[in-house]
Structure 1
Amino acid sequence: MTRDLQTLSRRWNAALVPLLAALVLAGCATAPAELPPVNAPAQFKEQGAAVAPKEGTWTRAQPAEAQPRGEWWRAFNDPVLDALVERADANNTTLQGAAARLAEARALARSTDADRAPQIGVGAGANRAAGLDRVQSPNAQTLLTAGANISYEVDLFGRLSQASDAARLDADARAGLLQSTKLLVEAETAQTYLSLRALDAERALVRESVDAYRDTLRLTQRRYQAGDLAELDVARVETEVAATESDALTLDRQRAETEHALAVLVGDAASNFGLRTDAWSAALPVIPAGIPGTVLARRPDISAAQKSVLAAQARVGVAQAAWFPDISLTGGAGYASSTAGDLFKWSARSWGIGALLSLPLFDGGRREAGVQSASAQLDGALASYRTQVLTAVKEVEDQLSALRILDAQSEVQAKAVASATRATALSDSRYRNGYVSQLDLLDARRSELRNRRQAVQVRSAQYQATVGLIRALGGGWETAVAEAAPAGVSPKVAVR
């Protein structure tokens, strides 16, 4: 037994000589990847002075995708919206698909990690063959084998570890995309629900106008029967009634389609889903000024883009490691015998160890092409990452400008509604007393309806832009504002 162990030791030492020689070259592996910073504006233009930001006002933001985003939709103070968003989080099929892709990426990462571990297996076999030397072995013989084998690839140059890192970073990017999809689904659910409530409010206005036109039609018909008006006046009012009813039916169709879209978002069949017509009672939260540009680092899509850049950098290292030798260690032990009864006897034992070093000398440019391909993928990932950051800044500025302009438009539109309402009341009174023509009354009512509907649409746009800004900021904004606020100042959410 001692002699066998000494022989085994000498053979292991001989096998390790190539490994020790390869260690000299191990320092040539790729440098570790670095996380690209988020180059965000120090302050958003729409929240500062009404001038373009000066050059050099960009700042580097540390990754902050782990910051809590909170249940931002609760700021609208609408229990129906709260329930719908919770249903969407639980049942939305797009979200479930993103979760499945994340699970797939994590399984692939575990599979890649397995390549770095020793591979151990057992096996048994039976072979029957005639000997090559028919003088010594004229008859066919049976060989029975049973044993275990082990193999291990020595990762001297980081090929396996960098491949494992790349797969793990891909999984992290998928996790970021899952969070981005979740935020998107929540925002779309909120926007669709708020659109439906806006349609309810607009439908109520139009139906109210239909009732008013019908009252006018009844008055006009009585005056026509009394001989005070011509049939033309009756036809005009009938036209207004029919046209306004048509507008109401158009809004009914739009509401039905919006309700069906909301059903898909919450993972329900449109045939089984319904929301009753209700008053528009959701509060309009006002996001406070002073949100820093570094809040963009919280966006899960930017986090996913960062992880994709790191994964591409790791794959460049994998491609570069192909220029170095592959070193594998193998070993096996078991029994071999021509008879089953002698298979597990000590005399039938067999074992073997080995080390294999392989290095392609000429491959027609395959390895160089692999490095170039990985480098091109890295350049593409960097470009996509920069595009993602620029798009994020654009989305925030879009929503901030929309909210600023819509706020001013809401004030002007409120004045228009007040004036149109007053004009309708005066026209109706004067018409009933015969001081103005029917055309004046109809024109006043059309103007009032148009301005009231415009006011509802402006209000709806304010809600849509608020949800869009929350999504562009990466979710709830309280944490970001608190970090930027002076000491002792707590950010508050205003509601209007």
Structure 2
Amino acid sequence: MSLSRVSQLSRRFSCLALAALTACSTIPAYTKPDVSMPAHYANVPGWTVASPEDAASRGQWWTVFHDPDLDHLESRVNVSNQTVKKAVAQLEQARAAVTFQRAGFFPTVTANASQQRYRTSQNLVGKALAGKTIPDYSTGLTASWEPDLFGRVKDATVNAQANADASNADLEAVRLSVASDIATDYFDLRAIDTQKKLLDDTVTAYAAALKLLQQQLADGAIDASAVAQAQTQLESTRTQATDISVQRSQLEHAIATLVGESASTFFIAPVERTFTLPDIPPGVPSQLLERRPDIAAAERRVVAANAQIGEAHAAYFPDLVLSASAGLESSFFAPWLTAPSLFWALGPQLVGTLFDGGRHKATLDQANAQYDGAVADYRQSVLISFQQVEDSLAVLNALQDEAVSQERATSAATLALKLTTNRFQAGAVSYLDVVTAQTIALNNQRAREQIDARRLDASVSLIRALGGTWQTSESPMTGRKG
């Protein structure tokens, strides 16, 4: 093949490549699905619609609780959590699919080299090589290319890229979910540490009281019923302390799994700690569309489904395949690499479907139905996100009121216990009244600690429902004591 001929072919391929890269697409014009958007959250009156912050970062939202142990646990999620690792692998798979589809814009070139011997049947009439054994040496290149005239490859690439974007959002959703689970389990564990210390201190106090009553019984100052009541109270409280230890172990094991460590080797030292509840501005409902990674993933899948409609439309058009081959072939090795051994072939092929029994139409109908389903999923994700935010806000508001009333109840129960104890020591009441007052006081103290733990959990749930941290450089962080 002469150099001038090769140059002409190269120019033709370049022109066709340019035409293919600028080919028209059969994707329908995409419009983001509309959703009904309330002006403000029902549990936060006074908020009005504002421009969403597209650049708001989810960030390390758990740092608002100012706990170094929690920060350390959260830092291990990306490194060790297996659910996150799987999501990362799925993202890499989706990105590889994009690269695969983009390869369709370029020609495919193959090379071959072979050496074989073959024999033609001797019983063939009119063949000069009948009955002879012939060696064959060949080498060559083959190039084929399908210009993307009707956007099939472009549509498939858009589809793959949208799915990759959705996988990236899925990864962020998994990270947010795992980080939220760690925070919730950690706060529950610290609440148990506080309650365990309360129960242990109570057991110590009850044991001292029992010892005193036993001495009074020996002195004849009281009857045996008071000692029995004190013994019952002591053992019942010990049972509660043992039971709460089991709950702590289970939470510790759950955290171990979340950070990717064996529960057999994982340990968190018991510590009493008071946390500060962050003030979490929920913003406006429209901001959820940018904050929530699951909503972003659902919207990108609508884009992917829209691109599939384009692929289904493109299947109605014919495929143009350009192919070229060239090489050297000879029956003898010596002249194999000389000019007379040259062969080449060049030609286009246009292939279109004339009848397929309705397969193309069924594929298009399927793509349209899948698009409708993706839109429904997107809208459902938005509705669920509103519900989760409203639920978390309602719980936080209710728990705030509960914390105030429970603090009053705890103070009253503590005072009642003190007064009842004084009356018992004065002989005015029986020890049963003391036991009753002790039980009420302990239950109220535990209820107060449980409400504080529930407020922390509700704060984490709200942050999760909002899609991560709400902080920007212009909004300083404030807090309130839990």
Fold conserved between structures, TM > 0.5: yes
* Separation of aligned partners in 1, 2:363 and 2:53: 31
Q: Give the C-alpha shift of residue 458 in structure 1.
A: 0.5
- SS of the equivalent of 1:342 reads coil
* Separation of aligned partners in 1, 2:8 and 2:210: 109
Q: 347, 356, 365: which one pairs with 1:354?
A: 347
Residue type of the partner of 2:328? Answer: Y
The corresponding residue for 1:111 is: 100
* Separation of aligned partners in 2, 1:4 and 1:109: 37
Q: Percent identity?
A: 35
Q: Give the C-alpha shift of residue 219 in structure 1.
A: 2.5
Q: 23, 30, 35: which one pairs with 1:33?
A: 30
* Separation of aligned partners in 2, 1:67 and 1:340: 70
The corresponding residue for 2:68 is: 79
Q: Are 1:121 and 2:107 an aligned pair?
A: no
In the superposition, relative to structure 1, how do residues 276 and 9 fare at CA in structure 2: closer, same or farther (>3 Å)? closer
The corresponding residue for 1:42 is: 39
Deviations 1:257-282 (A, max 9, x none): 11111111111111221111111133
Q: Give the C-alpha shift of residue 213 in structure 1.
A: 1.9
Residue type of the partner of 1:421? Answer: T
Residue type of the partner of 1:107? Answer: A
* Separation of aligned partners in 1, 2:252 and 2:24: 62
Q: Give the C-alpha shift of residue 220 in structure 1.
A: 2.2
The corresponding residue for 1:146 is: 139
Q: Are 1:493 and 2:482 an aligned pair?
A: no
* Separation of aligned partners in 1, 2:199 and 2:169: 44
Q: Is the 8 A contact 1:142 1:338 kept in 2?
A: yes
The corresponding residue for 2:58 is: 69
Q: Are 1:429 and 2:433 an aligned pair?
A: no
Stretches of structure 1 lacking an aligned partner (at least 5 in a row): 483-489
Q: 87, 90, 98: which one pairs with 2:87?
A: 98
- SS of the equivalent of 2:334 reads helix
The corresponding residue for 2:173 is: 180
* Separation of aligned partners in 2, 1:160 and 1:187: 40
Q: Give the C-alpha shift of residue 369 in structure 1.
A: 1.5
* Separation of aligned partners in 1, 2:215 and 2:70: 48
Q: Are 1:136 and 2:125 an aligned pair?
A: no
Deviates more, 1:110-119 or 1:135-144: 135-144
The corresponding residue for 1:5 is: 5
Q: Are 1:194 and 2:187 an aligned pair?
A: yes
The corresponding residue for 2:286 is: 294
Q: Is the 8 A contact 1:312 1:378 kept in 2?
A: yes
Q: Where do 1:87-486 residues align within 5 Å?
A: 87-131=76-120, 135-138=127-130, 139-288=132-281, 291-296=283-288, 297-479=290-472
* Separation of aligned partners in 2, 1:299 and 1:174: 14
Q: Give the C-alpha shift of residue 115 in structure 1.
A: 2.2
Residue type of the partner of 1:266? Answer: V
Q: Give the C-alpha shift of residue 67 in structure 1.
A: 3.0
- SS of the equivalent of 1:41 reads coil
In the superposition, relative to structure 1, how do residues 44 and 135 fare at CA in structure 2: closer, same or farther (>3 Å)? closer
Residue type of the partner of 1:118? Answer: P
Q: Is the 8 A contact 1:151 1:330 kept in 2?
A: yes
Deviations 1:41-79 (A, max 9, x none): 332111116xxx9xxx9x797793x53223211111111
Q: Is the 8 A contact 1:40 1:389 kept in 2?
A: no
In the superposition, relative to structure 1, how do residues 62 and 456 fare at CA in structure 2: closer, same or farther (>3 Å)? closer
Q: Give the C-alpha shift of residue 298 in structure 1.
A: 1.6
Deviations 1:245-297 (A, max 9, x none): 11110100001111111111111111221111111133221214x61222212
RMSD of aligned residue pairs (Cα, Å): 2.7
Deviates more, 1:409-418 or 1:118-127: 118-127
- SS of the equivalent of 2:276 reads coil
- SS of the equivalent of 1:355 reads strand
Stretches of structure 2 lacking an aligned partner (at least 5 in a row): none
* Separation of aligned partners in 2, 1:193 and 1:427: 38
Instruction: State the aligned residue count.
Output: 470
Q: Is the 8 A contact 2:182 2:255 kept in 1?
A: yes
Deviations 1:7-39 (A, max 9, x none): x979x99x99xx9xx99xx86823243343665
In the superposition, relative to structure 1, how do residues 163 and 117 fare at CA in structure 2: closer, same or farther (>3 Å)? same
Deviations 1:388-445 (A, max 9, x none): 1111111111111111111011000000000000001111111122111111111101
Residue type of the partner of 1:177? Answer: D
* Separation of aligned partners in 1, 2:200 and 2:86: 42
TM-score by length of 1: 0.88
* Separation of aligned partners in 2, 1:30 and 1:103: 25
Deviates more, 1:82-91 or 1:34-43: 34-43
Deviates more, 1:216-225 or 1:330-339: 216-225
TM-score by length of 2: 0.91
Q: Is the 8 A contact 2:188 2:453 kept in 1?
A: yes
Which consecutive segments of 4 or more residues in structure 1 shift more than 6 A? 1-4, 59-63
Deviations 1:96-153 (A, max 9, x none): 1111111111112211211221111111123433445554223132222211011111
- SS of the equivalent of 1:172 reads helix
- SS of the equivalent of 2:95 reads helix
Q: Give the C-alpha shift of residue 326 in structure 1.
A: 1.2
Residue type of the partner of 1:111? Answer: F
Residue type of the partner of 1:136? Answer: A
Deviates more, 1:461-470 or 1:83-92: 83-92
Q: Is the 8 A contact 1:39 1:60 kept in 2?
A: no
Residue type of the partner of 1:494? Answer: G
Q: Is the 8 A contact 1:38 1:63 kept in 2?
A: no
* Separation of aligned partners in 2, 1:165 and 1:213: 71
Q: Is the 8 A contact 1:123 1:146 kept in 2?
A: yes
* Separation of aligned partners in 2, 1:63 and 1:311: 25
Q: Give the C-alpha shift of residue 230 in structure 1.
A: 2.8
* Separation of aligned partners in 1, 2:254 and 2:223: 48
